[in-house]
Amino acid sequence: MMKEVAQYTSSTNDDARKFYELGYRNVEKGDLKNGIKYYKKAIGLDSGFIDAYDNCGIAYRHLDLLDSAVWCYTRSIKKYPNGKLSHMNLAVAYSMQKKYDEALSEYDILQTIDPNDPEAYYGKAHVYLLANNPDKALPDAEKALKLYQKNSPDLVGDAEVQIGLCYYFKGDKKNAKKYIAKAKQDKGMVPQQVADDLGVK
């Protein structure tokens, strides 16, 4: 018997669930193409299988097939408009395509669905940084940090990196150094070039 995979919105179709699990297992092993094949078979048997759309989109995104990823996420959202995972992943795909306005719109929707989800604020700050707008990124990065401190302390370091980068790109090296040093302590993914420039060891 196959191990049941935790799902967001499962299917009532047994065969669709079996193909989904095969897709999931292939992707876990790094075989994205076969994973996509099985996810598509699951979707073919159950056109409302949200998890299959979402995971197929993630696999496409990792293969840099962004148009296909966007298609999967938008189909998922049509079936389940309040799907947090779908909106978040669609925002990521749009940001990778440099469609920053569309990405920000998806994060706005995510914030409406769940105002206490730190990923929405972190994602928005990330997009603003990609668009070279640290002034707009900073409030969202600060909000993400507060929410991570409350709910996901293991991710605090990444939010501190983001705040540090906001200050760094604003030219405020004093505050940038403060947050980058704190991020290093909290195991955040600090860009080495920024750490070196700020003298953070």
pLDDT per residue over 143-194, tens digit each? 999 999 999 999 999 999 999 999 999 999 999 999 999 999 999 999 999 9
Are residue 121 and residue 193 in the same domain, yes or no? yes
Q: Is residue 1 part of a domain?
A: no
pLDDT one-digit tens code per residue, 93-113: 999 999 999 999 999 999 999
Q: Is residue 109 part of a domain?
A: no
Q: Is residue 189 part of a domain?
A: yes
- Distance CA(134)–CA(130), nearest Å, equals 9
pLDDT one-digit tens code per residue, 34-85: 999 999 999 999 999 999 999 999 999 999 999 999 999 999 999 999 999 9
Residue where one domain finishes, among candidates 103, 125, 156:
103
Tell me, rounded to whole angstroms, the distance of Cα 68 from its chain centroid. Answer: 17
C-alpha closest to that of 182 among 169, 162, 197: 162
Q: What is the pLDDT of residue 2?
A: 34
Q: Is residue 34 part of a domain?
A: yes
Greatest extent of the chain over all pairs of C-alpha atoms, in Å? 58
pTM, 2 dp: 0.89
Q: What is the pLDDT of residue 4?
A: 36
Q: Is residue 110 part of a domain?
A: no
Are residue 123 and residue 91 in the same domain, yes or no? no
- Distance CA(52)–CA(165), nearest Å, equals 36
Q: Is residue 111 part of a domain?
A: no
- Which phi and psi (to 5°) does residue 186 adopt? -95, 15
Residue where one domain finishes, among candidates 73, 103, 133:
103
- Retrieve residue 96's tokens: 């990778």
CATH code for the domain of 148: 1.25.40.10
